[in-house]
Amino acid sequence: MRPERPPIDPDVDLGDPRQRAELRGGTVSLLGAIAVGGMLGAVVRHGLAVAFPHPPRGFPWATFTVNVSGCLLIGVLMVLITEAWTAPRLVRPFLGVGVLGGYTTFSTYAIEVQQAVAAGAARTALLYLAGTLVAALASVRVGVTLTRLATGVARQRSYG
């Protein structure tokens, strides 16, 4: 059964009886799926950070790209598995909590703002701070909207 409306928290929503119960019976497979997904996401993020380093006063494009693209993908994923289809048990834990959660990062974003300020690049820091926020939220919205249109769920449901 799909919940009545999409969740607020895509990692886990205890208001959804299925998610509330998902830790009982299959704890190892659940946490294992999250761990493996998290490893994959983090390794890709690390690979991009190594491939595209930024100078101390430069714009952190690698993390920016990771966070904005991860936000686009969570929008697509959540519409597919909570609005368009009913997904098998481990899909959300593996792809949403694990892969996309491990791929995107708030801590590196915060520390890169701090490092830019410490390097004397306050303007870059502010641009990165606000630019990531605006682009990431817009990406979620684009991912959600386009996927609803593509799957035809847009007309059938309300999202309150």
Partner 1 sequence: MSVILVALGAALGAPLRYLVDRAVQARHGSAFPWGTFTVNVVGSFILGVLIGGAAVGAVPGSLVALLGVGLCGALTTYSTFGYETVRLFEAGRRFHALFNAGASVVAALGAAFVGVALAEALWS
Residues in contact with partner 1 by CB under 8 A are: 5-14, 23, 31, 34-39, 41-43, 45-47, 49, 67, 70-71, 73-75, 78, 93, 96-98, 100-111, 113-115, 118, 129, 132-133, 136-137, 139-141, 144, 159-160
CB 78 within 8 A of CB 67: no
- To the nearest whole angstrom, how small is the minimum distance from the Cβ of residue 133 to partner 1? 6
The tokens describing 35, both together, are 């761990």
Contact 89, 153 (CB under 8 A): no
Distance CA 5, CA 58 (A): 42
58 in a known ligand binding site:
no
Any known ligand binding at 104? yes
Q: How far is the CB of 87 from partner 1 (least distance, A)?
A: 16
Name the E strands within 40-159.
Answer: none
Please report, in range form, the residues annotated as the binding site for Na(+).
101, 104
